[in-house]
Amino acid sequence: MTAVATAPVVRTEARSRAHEIWRIVRLHAVNPSIFFGIPWMIIGAAWAISLIITLIIRAGSGGDVTTEDLDNMRYSWAVLSPQWYLVVVGVQAIGFTFSFALGFGTTRRDFWVGTSVMFLLVSIMYAAAIATLVQIEIATDGWGLGAHMFDALWYGQNWFLDFYTSFALQLLVLFIGASVTTVYMRWRMRGMMILLFTAIALLLAAITGVTLTGSWPSLFAWFGTIGIAGVFSVVLGLAVVSAIVGYFVIRRATPR
């Protein structure tokens, strides 16, 4: 009786499966509007609006506008506009693409590693692009109008710092969206509620602790000493933690 003998399996899987991981990157990129098209449209629209506002300021002040006046545009958050959308991209990568990839016979491990590679590549691309656009804006004296879109907030010190901070922020935004969604995919609504209330409780406990010990000044002093690069190293650290937690959570997650 043949039913007794199980068909022998030739095990061909390797420990590092470059093909299996790279195809997840390709799957995320097969519809390029998600990771590339829409974010660039948002950046483009924010840029256009920034320039129009600059023109309105110039027209409204009758031509005697100073560079100092326009420097107030440094407080515009336009340069961060695609970040909000990219949180959603992180959520959808797990909420939709994960279920689909499982149907196509991927392991959860390969999916998460492939998704992380995609996030890394996307973050490098946007960080390099933003850092370069900051330099172009400075070189062209605000696109010839004194406008500040990219050379805003903490940006504009040097290319490498701009690249590093953008990269860290980008990675955090994508991994937070993705790893929180892995909690949903594994424990559904109950998991999300526990996560939410735990996060609120921890935040309140931290605020209470700092307030009671009167250590707000020393906390701000610490942020002052570590500087912009230090603060974004903390951001990068959070992104790495999200990535590692997401890996362990998704290993037992189930599709919807």
Partner 1 sequence: MTGTVVRATGLTKRYGSFTAVDAVDFSLEENRIYGLLGRNGAGKTTIMQLLTGQLFASAGRLEVFGREPAEHADVLRRMCFIAESQRYPEDFTPAHVFKSAPWFFENWDAAFAEQLVSDFRLPMKRRIKKLSRGQLSAVGVIVGLASRAPLTFFDEPYLGLDAVARHIFYDRLLEDYVAHPRTVVLSTHLIDEVANLLEHVILIDQGRILLDRDADEVRGSATTIAGPRNTVEAFVADRPVIGREGLGGLASVTIDGRLDQRDRIQAAELGLELAPVSLQQLIVHLTGTDLAGSTEQENAA
The pair phi, psi for residue 31, each rounded to 5°, is -110, 90
Least Å from the CB of residue 19 to partner 1? 8
Asked if 190 is part of the footprint of partner 1 (rule: CB under 8 A), the reply reads no
Q: With CB under 8 A as the contact rule, which of the stretches 101-109, 120-128, 151-159, 161-169 interacts with partner 1?
A: 101-109
Angle in degrees, 0-180, between the axes of helices 81-92 and 38-60, rounded to the nearest 10: 160
Q: How far apart are CA 48 and CA 68, in angstroms?
A: 21
CB under 8 Å to 193, separation ≥6 — which residues?
none
Asked if 189 is part of the footprint of partner 1 (rule: CB under 8 A), the reply reads no
Asked if 162 is part of the footprint of partner 1 (rule: CB under 8 A), the reply reads no
Of 42, 65, 87, 102, the residue at the interface with partner 1 (CB under 8 A) is 102
In the chain, what's the furthest Cα-to-Cα distance?
A: 95
Asked if 9 is part of the footprint of partner 1 (rule: CB under 8 A), the reply reads yes
Asked if 68 is part of the footprint of partner 1 (rule: CB under 8 A), the reply reads no
Asked if 16 is part of the footprint of partner 1 (rule: CB under 8 A), the reply reads no
Asked if 151 is part of the footprint of partner 1 (rule: CB under 8 A), the reply reads no
Three-state SS across 151-206?
Answer: CCCCCCCCHHHHHHHHHHHHHHHHHHHHHHHHHHHHHHHHHHHHHHHHHHHHHHHH
Q: With CB under 8 A as the contact rule, which of the stretches 54-62, 90-98, 197-205, 241-249 interacts with partner 1?
A: 90-98
Least Å from the CB of residue 24 to partner 1? 9
Least Å from the CB of residue 36 to partner 1? 13
Give the residue among 122, 147, 126, 125 at the shortest CA–CA distance from 136: 147
Least Å from the CB of residue 130 to partner 1? 24
CB under 8 Å to 54, separation ≥6 — which residues?
70, 73, 142, 145, 146, 147
Asked if 225 is part of the footprint of partner 1 (rule: CB under 8 A), the reply reads no
Using CB under 8 A, list all residues that contact partner 1.
2-13, 17, 20, 23, 26-28, 30-31, 33-34, 92, 95-97, 99-100, 102-110, 251-252, 254-256
